[in-house]
Structure 1
Amino acid sequence: MDVSQTMETEEDLLTCLHIKLYHPKQTSQALYRLLPLGNRKQYSAEDPLKLGRDAQACALALVDPRVSRKNLALQAYRTPQSKDMLFTLQNLSQKGQMSVNGSVLGYLERMDLPDKALIRFGEYEVMIIRENGEAKGMFEVDLEVLACSPSRETGVCLPCMTPVMDTCICVTTDFPADLRAHGPSETDETHMSFMMNHHCLN
C-alpha cells in the first residue's frame, strides 16, 4: 500500500523547466532540429540533463559546431528545508564563458539555478523558468524558440561573450555553411584536463 501511494505521488504534477531558446541566426531552425520542441518530455531527477552538440552525450543537442560537445548541465536536487525540486547549473565548456543573470560562470563552476534565469553562452540566450511540482523522481522540460532576444525583456546587464569566443574559434558571418568549414577542431573534453593550455585551436 505504501509503495502504491509512492508511485501515485510520482505520477503527480511534475516540476517543469520551461526552456526558451534564442539565437540571432536561428531563422532556418536547423540549430534546433534535434530538440523536442513543443513537447513536454520527462527526465529522471537522478541524472544530469546536459545540453551541447553531442547528441549521444547530451539529452538536449544543438546542431552547431561552435557549441561544445557538452556545454552545460542541469542537476536536480532537494534540501531538508524544502519540498521543491531545485536545480544547479554547471558550465561544462572550456571554449568560452557563460553567464547566469549577468554573473559569469567559468569552466566546471556551478551555481544554484534561480526560479527564473537568463543564461548566455556564445550568441545563445536561454531563459529557464522553473515551475514547481510534487513528484520526487522525475521532472519535465518544455522547450520553445523565442522570436526575439529575452534579454530585452529582463533588463539584465549581460557581459559580452564575443571576445572570449573569438579568441578560441573562427566565427564567420555566413551561417550555417561556413560554420561547417570553420567550426572548432575540438578535442574530446573528457580528456581536456591534460590540455588546458591548448584548448584554443586554429
Structure 2
Amino acid sequence: MTTAFQTADTEETTTFLNITVYHPEQEKKQVFRAIRFCQREHLRVDELVKFGRNCDICRFYFMDSHVSRIQFALQLFRPFGSSELVFEIMNLSKRVKLIVDHVELAFLNKLIIPQRCLVRFGDYQLLMQKQDGQSEDFFEISFDMSKTSLWQEAVSLSVPETGVTCSLSPEEMDEDE
C-alpha cells in the first residue's frame, strides 16, 4: 500500500546566490535604490545577468555615474564532467578593474567564483555566497545591504599567508568621455 507521502513529487531546489552589498556613501547617494532587497529573484539558468548603471541593459543596476554602463556579468554553467552548477564572473568595464577576492580582472577577463567571495570595484563591495541546488532550469538571486564594510570581514576570513595588498580603483569615467 503506497501513501501520498511516497508518491508526492519531490520539490527541486534551485541554486541560490545571496549578494550582500556595501558602499561607503550608500545612505547619502542612495546608489542601491533600484535594487529590491530581501526578495528572491527567479532567473533562467541560460540568462547572462548584467550589473551596471544602464537600466535598459542591466538586470541589476546602480544609481551612480561612477559605475560603468555595464560593470560585470554573471553566468551560470556546468563545467564538463561535473554535476554542479557554478557562476562565472566577467569584467565588462574598460576603465575599472574588478577584484574578486584577491584576483584583479581587467576588461573581458573572467573566472569561476568560489562558494563565497568578495567582489570589489571602485567603492563598491559585494559579498557573494552560493548555495547549491538541483534545478537545471532556474536559479535565484537575493540582495542584502550591509551598513559596515565587508572588506574587513572578508580579509579576516581569507588572507593568504603572504598577506594581501589592497589597490583602490580610481573613480570611473564614462567610456565616451
TM range (shorter): 0.7 to 0.9
**Alpha-carbon spacing, 1:29–1:17, altered in 2? closer, same or farther (3 Å):** farther
Distance in 2 of aligned mates of 1:160 and 1:87 = 25
Give the corresponding residue for 1:159.
166
Distance in 2 of aligned mates of 1:153 and 1:42 = 28
Give the corresponding residue for 2:3.
none
Q: Which amino acid aligns with 1:90?
A: M
Q: 1:2-13 alignment to 2 at 5 Å?
A: 12-13=12-13
- What percent of counterpart residues are identical? 27
Q: Which amino acid aligns with 1:20?
A: T
**Alpha-carbon spacing, 1:85–1:29, altered in 2? closer, same or farther (3 Å):** farther
Structure 1 or 2: more helix by fraction: 1
Instruction: State the shift of 1:29 in Å.
Output: 6.6
CA contact (8 A) 2:66 2:174 kept: no
Deviations along 1:116-137, one digit per CA (max 9) or x if unpaired, are 1111100001110010011011
How many pairs does the alignment contain?
A: 162
Distance in 1 of aligned mates of 2:103 and 2:91 = 12
SS at match of 1:31: coil
When normalised by structure 1's length, the TM-score is 0.75
Instruction: State the shift of 1:56 in Å.
Output: 1.0
Give the corresponding residue for 1:84.
84
Instruction: State the shift of 1:186 in Å.
Output: 3.6
Deviations along 1:3-43, one digit per CA (max 9) or x if unpaired, are xxxxx77x621100010100000114721111121100111
Q: Does 1:116 pair with 2:123?
A: no
CA contact (8 A) 1:15 1:140 kept: yes
The answer for unaligned runs of 5 or more in structure 1 is 1-7, 170-183, 188-200
Distance in 2 of aligned mates of 1:20 and 1:158 = 23
Moved more, 148-157 or 49-58: 148-157
SS at match of 2:31: helix
Distance in 1 of aligned mates of 2:79 and 2:175 = 37
Instruction: State the shift of 1:103 in Å.
Output: 0.8
Q: Which amino acid aligns with 1:15?
A: T
Q: Aligned-residue CA RMSD in angstroms?
A: 1.8
Instruction: State the shift of 1:102 in Å.
Output: 1.0
Give 4+ residue runs of structure 1 displaced > 4 Å after superposition. Answer: none
Q: Which amino acid aligns with 2:48?
A: P
When normalised by structure 2's length, the TM-score is 0.85
CA contact (8 A) 1:96 1:161 kept: no
Q: 1:1-40 alignment to 2 at 5 Å?
A: 12-28=12-28, 30-40=30-40
Distance in 1 of aligned mates of 2:103 and 2:96 = 14
Moved more, 70-79 or 151-160: 151-160
**Alpha-carbon spacing, 1:158–1:132, altered in 2? closer, same or farther (3 Å):** farther
Give the corresponding residue for 1:55.
55
The answer for unaligned runs of 5 or more in structure 2 is 1-8
